[in-house]
Structure formats: structure tokens, C-alpha cells
Amino acid sequence: MRFLILGSDGGTFYASKTELSMDNVACLTRLLKDGKGVALVDTIVNVSTEGRAAKQDPVLFALAFCAKTGDEETRKHAFANLAKVCRIPTHLFMFLSFVDAFSKGKGFGRMQQNAFSSWYNGKDAVKLSYAMTKYKNRHGWTHRDVLRLSHVKPVDEAHKAVYKFVTKGAQALFEDEELVVEAGEDVIAFLKATEQAMSAKEVNDQLVALIIKHGLAWEHISRDLLNSPKLWLAMLKRDMPIGAMVRNLGKMSKIGLFGGLLHSQAPEESSTRQSSSSSYSFPISFLFNGHPALYQG
């Protein structure tokens, strides 16, 4: 439990980042040898979903360890709970980096392929398109890599459109008129919005409207425009997740959002309503997100 919450099975928590390795997971090895793999996976899921871990890294490390080194029942249980722990692509890519290390180059097995296919196909197509366009790559992996290696087959035309957009680009999708019609208006409208936002040359009323209507994040927008207070205010109006807000407080303060434009808005227009209880956040992680220097001890 200590390892899952603090990232170390020793008696001390260090604020500095620690490389996760087999040297500090003797507790995991011991539990697997004692035949407690399924119970360990349940504990991992509980710690993750209840927001009890300071960071997701040790939780993902432990789940990957169970998925690749446990007995068959443990491996099945670990992969079956993949979506509960890997809630966003960042988690999925980190989990995959750990799995790859434990696999020692053996590639994707059938159990792993099925789990990753279920992760993508089990999500609502619009929510999936948001996640895949926001978190395009992490830890040396891209969605194209995972879709290819997992042999993911879309469950419907909406998912097929999302996969084509991400792997082959906007032009390839929008030129496929039949798929555009069959995919449905909601998915296509969102994907068009992300394409327009990324190609925008200035922050105008049209871009602000796209952000508010589709809930676009800063990752969906050209980096050249990210110094605009008007742009960040639009994102705040769409209930920016609490973790993202804390991470970007410095940025928003630096560009003068809090001293000017924000104060000119009505309270109901400029405040976010998402509670921290819905974002799986360990309290101390707010400090780390807002002040990365604290990692240095």
C-alpha cells in the first residue's frame, strides 16, 4: 500500500522524483509469489480510483507488473481493469511503457491486444476523440502505435472515423464522404473543431465559440495563440478540470488573466464548477502540479 500511494516501499517519502525499478517493488513480488495477485490488482484499482495516490506512476507500474509477471488469473484481472486505472491516454501510454519493459521486447500478446482494443472501443466516440486529440503521444508512444500493435478494429463507423483522423489525418477523413455521413454529426463536428482550432492564426470570436461549444483544451489549439487571456477565459468557462487549472495557474497569472479580463466577467460566467472529488486527485498532488519546484525537495 505504501508503494502505491507514495511510490516507495520504504518508510520515507521523498519529494524528488524517483526512478521506478524492480529494486523498490519487493513487496509486489512477495504478494504475487504468495498467490495474492488478484487481491493486489483490486487494491491497485481502489487506490487509483479513490484518488489516494500522490501520483499515478507507481499505480501504473504495479498494474503493469501484475499484467506481465503474475499468474494467468492475475494477468487477466489486471488487463480487465485497465480502463479503470488508465482513465486517460497519458496513463495508457505510461502503462504501456512499463509493460514493454517487463515484456523485454516480446511484443503484444493476445490478452494485451484485447485489453487495449477494449480500452479504445469501449469509450463513447466523442469522448474518445477528445482524449485522442488532446493526448496525442506520451512516453515514446502514439495512438497510431497502439492501434496498429493491438490490431484494434473499430466497433462502429464513429470509432472508425476517429481512428482514421488520428492515424491518417484530417484530409483523409473528410475526403471520405461516405464515412463522414455514417460516423454521425457529433463526432465529425468535434473533429472539425479541433482541426480549425489547431490551424487558427488568431484568437477571434469564432475560435472562442469553438472552445466553449466543444470544450476544447489548450492542447487542441496552436501554441502560437496560448498567450491570449481571452483564450484561457474561454477554457475556464467550459469547466476546466481542476488538475489542469492548478497546473496552469502560473501561465494564466503570467498573461494577466486574473488581474484584468477575469475580473470583468460575471461570477457565474468565469468560474468553474467541477469539484476536486470527481478528478481522482491526491491532495498533495495539487502542490506538485502548481509548483513543480517542490519535487526538488
Tell me which of 173 and 277 has the higher pLDDT: 173
Tell me which of 3 and 192 has the higher pLDDT: 192
Q: Which residues have a Cβ under 8 Å from the Cβ of 98 and sit 6 or more positions away?
A: 20, 60, 61, 64, 65
Q: Of all helices (H) and strands (E), which one includes residue 249? A: helix 249-254
Distance CA 78, CA 76 (A): 5
* Cα three-residue angle 96-116-41, rounded to 5 degrees: 70
Cα 46 → chain centroid: 18
Q: Tell me the residue type at 164.
A: K
Quote the radius of gyration of the chain (alpha carbons, Å). 21
- The 10s digit of each residue's pLDDT in 124-182 is 999 999 999 999 999 999 999 999 999 999 999 999 999 999 999 999 999 999 999 99
Task: Report pLDDT for 18.
Answer: 46
261-265 mean pLDDT: 56
Task: Report pLDDT for 278.
Answer: 45
Mean pLDDT (the chain) is 85
Instruction: Decide: helix, strand or coil at residue 259.
Output: coil
Distance CA 134, CA 263 (A): 29
36-40 mean pLDDT: 96
Distance CA 150, CA 111 (A): 10
> Does the pLDDT value for residue 108 go beyond 80?
yes
- Per the CB < 8 A criterion, the answer to whether 68 and 77 are in contact is no
Tell me whether strands 137-138 and 141-142 are parallel, antiparallel or unpaired: antiparallel
Please give the backbone phi and psi of residue 216, each rounded to the nearest 5 degrees, phi first: -70, 145
Least confident residue range of 50-59, 243-252, 270-279:
270-279
Query: pTM value?
Result: 0.83
Distance CA 2, CA 12 (A): 10
Distance CA 142, CA 144 (A): 5
Instruction: Decide: helix, strand or coil at residue 106.
Output: coil
- The 10s digit of each residue's pLDDT in 211-246 is 999 999 999 999 999 999 999 999 988 878 888 888
